[in-house]
Amino acid sequence: MNNRKGVVINNKTLKKQPKPPQEMWFWSGKSAGVWACGECNRIYQSEVMATECCKSKICKCGADNFSTVYTTCASCRHKQDMAREKDRFDKMDDITDSYDEQPVLAGDSFYKDVWEFFNCCDSLNNLEDEYIEVCSVHKLGYNISVDDVLDTLLDNVTENLEDGYEMEFDGVDVFKKQIQEFLDKQTGEIWVPCGKKINIGELVKQYGECE
């Protein structure tokens, strides 16, 4: 037996030299265009990916045996994400002075204003030097026209008519009015990060600590 010892990560055994990948074939003898990892049989769209699947890797920081979907370890990826986020915020203008309670984006989460953000934070300690991004608010449905809705609906209805048949609709005016009433009720909002930041420490000073 050869010496193919490995380390287990996420229930996956990573090896210095995994068994070679297998190309998959149809019964007809035609290639399916996919490869299976020789160790775990996961299917990949390329031979390279199947070869790399169960191979242990070494990150530039020296860490080894991380999932081979990535080329760097989790800790290095986290550092990269943080650096990218810092770079993004460095380029934004600060609007602490004129903040008027718009929605904000903190990390991956949107909040309707800073109060909601404060309430969702376990603690504001250690966040004094961090920033959140302000969002602009757009109304949903403001640019949907009655005629677009009507055309789509009626096209759907007449789609399956056999050739040579026409369909005339009565009461279209009444229907249009109802569609407009429906559209007027669509008051949902879209929040779009607008490239301006607020310093959390400044906000806490301005609004006071919350319980």
Enumerate binding residues for Zn ion (CB under 5 A). 37, 39-40, 42, 53-54, 59, 61, 63, 73, 76
Angle at CA of residue 205, ends 204 and 206, nearest 5°:
90
Instruction: Report the distance separating Cα 196 and Cα 136, nearest Å.
Output: 10
Question: Rounded to the nearest whole angstrom, what is the least distance from the CB of residue 147 to Zn ion in the complex?
Answer: 55
Question: Rounded to the nearest whole angstrom, what is the least distance from the CB of residue 3 to Zn ion in the complex?
Answer: 19
User: What DSSP string describes 95-112?
Assistant: -GGG--S--EEETTEEES
SS3 content of the chain, % helix, strand, coil (to 5): 30, 25, 45
Question: Rounded to the nearest whole angstrom, what is the least distance from the CB of residue 191 to Zn ion in the complex?
Answer: 35
Half-sphere exposure of 41 (CA within 13 A, CB side): 0
- In the bound state with Zn ion, the residue whose beta carbon lies nearer, of 37 and 134, is 37
Residue 200 DSSP symbol: H
Question: Rounded to the nearest whole angstrom, what is the least distance from the CB of residue 2 to Zn ion in the complex?
Answer: 17
- In the bound state with Zn ion, the residue whose beta carbon lies nearer, of 63 and 92, is 63
- In the bound state with Zn ion, the residue whose beta carbon lies nearer, of 23 and 151, is 23
- In the bound state with Zn ion, the residue whose beta carbon lies nearer, of 48 and 157, is 48
Residue 199: strand pairing partners:
131
